[in-house]
């Protein structure tokens, strides 16, 4: 098969029409967040961006390869991403917009279509045609940016159609375009798409989140519900992207490189942390603060951070703040230090911390305050920082609001560290211009 370098240019008007048709769904989602003027401007800029990237979409066999549509749809989404990034939204905020756009795009089909699709999947002949269709798409595998999949025959009633995607064209294309971090949000489109046929998708792994396969299984029964944030999804929970897995030593060394800044942070923590209480640290990392504060046990999802903490004599529980593997009402004090910006769901994590605390228990939270001079610098430059690239920094007001929502009463707060220099900083009361902010809160009755 010949490579048609001008394929996308030759079919430009068709692709632009497709883009325009779907833009009303994007407008619907954007209107929830932006003014109408801004929405118009985002749509216009995205159209321009799409027109710009269209000729460079990888050729994978033209219309003969049904997956060309798939790749071209992902380029439309890439155009939106590029424009939304200019509005200083976080990766997660952009991800949420994309997910809502997909939900709107694949809104439920008619009852009749859903019933037909359910019956069809049970029909042997239909399945044979479908398998042939999927097999046909593998014919285009020799194109660098196409897909490679294998069909998984159903055994028993667990699912009616199975597909293991071994290579994904969108992943390859997005990685080429340095937009790899958004692929996992594009994968979410598959859920409302399958749902629109009255069917149910289960997937525990995706290539987008460092797995070697996307294990898609379609079943007739199941509980299709809307999900955002997607941290409950198996494919997200199985392997979360955590920079601390890869840069453990580098993180740990920071404390030796900046001993005076570390001391200032420790002093601020000591103002709120009560010694001699039964305490646990959530996101304990390598246990640097825990050792100084006399904490003996911590929760940590990263294996490499845990193993260093364990070598320092700490007891470790492998779990996530959003879903703590810790008993109800079991600790008098919980501390969480510079973890909030890495959480998938701060609200859910606070509700979990509430659950594990005893009556009148104390929650000490230290976080990097976005609303400070240094915080703004960190936030603006996070894309160039391997630790903070995916961080979602919060302001003091945002943290306090979430604490109150989860029935915590704020009783004290301090802030420190106002510059990059390694020196002992003053510990100031309240929320102020120190980026390292500590809040002490107490569990209240619901
Ligand atoms: C900046 S480090 C802080 C470690 C330690 N608290 C300290 O101050 O040295 C952030 C830590 O949060 C952990 N983390 C990331 N996501 C988490 C989650 N969902 N639940 C709990 N911990 C998480 C990371 O693995 C990492 O160890």
Cα 111 to Cα 7, 119, 123, 196: the distances in Å are 37, 12, 19, 10
Bridge pairing between strands 200-203 and 214-219: antiparallel
For the Cβ of 298 lying below 6 angstroms from any atom of ligand 1, the answer is: no
CB neighbour list of residue 433: distance below 8 Å, 6 or more residues apart: 372, 373, 415, 418
| 305 ligand 1 Cβ < 6 A | yes
Sheet with 315-317, side-by-side order of all strands: 315-317, 297-299, 279-282, 331-337, 357-368, 436-443, 408-416, 428-429
Distance separating alpha carbons of residues 86 and 18, to the nearest angstrom: 24
Tally of domains in the chain: 2
Please give the number of the atom of ligand 1 that sits closest to the Cα of 245.
25
Say if residue 305 is in the same domain as residue 277.
Answer: yes
Residue 76 shares a structural domain with residue 183:
yes
What pLDDT does 232 receive? 67
CATH number where 389 lies: 3.40.50.150
Asked whether residue 254 falls in the same domain as residue 168, the answer is: no
The protein residue with its alpha carbon nearest to ligand 1, atom 1, reads: 338
Q: What values do phi and psi take at 165, rounded to 5?
A: -90, 120
Task: Decide whether any atom of ligand 1 lies within 6 Å of the 293 Cβ.
Answer: no
What CATH number does residue 153 fall under? 3.90.1520
Residues 271 and 176 in one domain: no
The answer to whether residue 42 is domain-embedded is yes
How many whole angstroms separate alpha carbon 281 and alpha carbon 175? 36
What is the span of the domain harbouring residue 85?
Answer: 2-230
Flag whether 235 is in a domain: no
pLDDT of amino acid 238 = 52
- Distance (Å) from CA 149 to ligand 1 centroid: 36
Q: Are residues 246 and 217 in the same domain?
A: no
Q: Distance between CA atoms of 147 and 248, rounded to whole angstroms?
A: 35
State in Å: Cα 261 to ligand 1 middle: 19
**pLDDT on residue 224:** 60
- Which residue positions in the chain have pLDDT lower than 70? 1-3, 108-111, 210, 223-226, 231-232, 237-241
Cβ atoms of 173 and 73 closer than 8 Å: no
**Same-domain status, 86 and 114:** yes
pLDDT at res. 384: 85
For ligand 1, whether the C-beta of 283 sits within 6 Å is yes
**Domain ends where: 198, 230, 262?**
230
Whether the CB-CB separation of 396 and 404 falls below 8 Å is answered with no
Distance 320 CA to ligand 1 centre (A): 9
Last residue in a domain, options 176, 209, 230: 230
Conformation bin of residue 181: beta by default, left when phi > 0, alpha when psi is -120 to 50: alpha
Ligand 1 mean position, distance from CA 358 (Å): 23
Final residue in a domain of this structure, among 205, 230, 255: 230
For residue 295 and ligand 1, the question of a CB distance below 6 A is answered with: no
What sign for the dihedral angle of Cα 381, 383, 389, 392? positive
Q: Which residues contact 256 (CB under 8 A, 6 or more apart)?
A: none
pLDDT digits (tens, 9 = 90+) for 209-260: 767 899 999 988 776 666 777 866 878 765 556 788 888 999 999 999 999 9
Q: Is the CB of 321 under 6 A from ligand 1?
A: yes
- 176 assigned to some structural domain: yes
């Amino acid at each position: 098969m010949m490579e048609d370098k001008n394929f996308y240019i030759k079919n430009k008007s068709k692709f632009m029409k497709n883009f325009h048709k779907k833009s009303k769904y994007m407008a619907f989602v954007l209107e929830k967040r932006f003014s109408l003027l801004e929405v118009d401007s985002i749509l216009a800029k995205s159209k321009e961006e799409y027109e710009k990237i269209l000729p460079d979409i990888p050729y994978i066999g033209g219309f003969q390869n049904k997956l060309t549509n798939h790749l071209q749809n992902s380029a439309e989404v890439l155009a939106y991403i590029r424009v939304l990034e200019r509005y200083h939204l976080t990766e997660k905020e952009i991800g949420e917009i994309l997910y809502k756009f997909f939900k709107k795009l694949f809104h439920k089909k008619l009852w009749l279509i859903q019933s037909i699709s359910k019956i069809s999947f049970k029909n042997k002949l239909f399945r044979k045609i479908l398998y042939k269709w999927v097999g046909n798409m593998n014919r285009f595998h020799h194109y660098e940016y196409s897909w490679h999949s294998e069909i998984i025959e159903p055994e028993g009633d667990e699912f009616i159609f199975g597909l293991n995607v071994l290579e994904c064209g969108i992943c390859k294309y997005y990685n080429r375009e340095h937009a790899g971090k958004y692929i996992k949000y594009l994968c979410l489109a598959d859920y409302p798409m399958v749902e629109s046929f009255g069917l149910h998708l289960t997937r525990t792994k995706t290539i987008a989140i460092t797995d070697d396969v996307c294990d898609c299984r379609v079943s007739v029964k199941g509980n299709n519900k809307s999900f955002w944030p997607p941290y409950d999804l198996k494919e997200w929970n199985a392997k979360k992207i955590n920079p601390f897995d890869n840069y453990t030593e580098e993180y740990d060394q920071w404390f030796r490189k900046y001993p005076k800044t570390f001391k200032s942070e420790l002093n601020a923590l000591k103002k709120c942390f009560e010694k001699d209480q039964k305490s646990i640290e959530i996101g304990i990392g390598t246990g640097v603060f825990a050792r100084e504060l006399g904490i003996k046990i911590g929760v940590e999802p990263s294996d490499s951070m845990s193993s260093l903490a364990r070598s320092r004599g700490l007891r470790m529980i492998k779990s996530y703040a959003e879903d703590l593997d810790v008993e109800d009402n079991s600790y008098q004090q919980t501390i969480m230090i510079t973890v909030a910006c890495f959480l998938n769901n701060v609200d859910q994590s606070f509700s979990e911390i509430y659950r594990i605390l005893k009556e009148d228990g104390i929650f000490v939270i230290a976080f990097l305050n976005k609303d400070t001079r240094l915080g703004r610098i960190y936030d603006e430059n996070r894309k160039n920082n391997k630790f903070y690239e995916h961080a979602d920094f919060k302001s003091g007001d945002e943290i306090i609001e979430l604490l109150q929502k989860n029935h915590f009463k704020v009783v004290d707060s301090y802030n420190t560290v106002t510059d990059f220099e390694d020196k002992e900083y003053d510990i100031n009361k309240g929320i102020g211009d120190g980026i390292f902010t500590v809040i002490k809160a107490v569990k209240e009755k619901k």
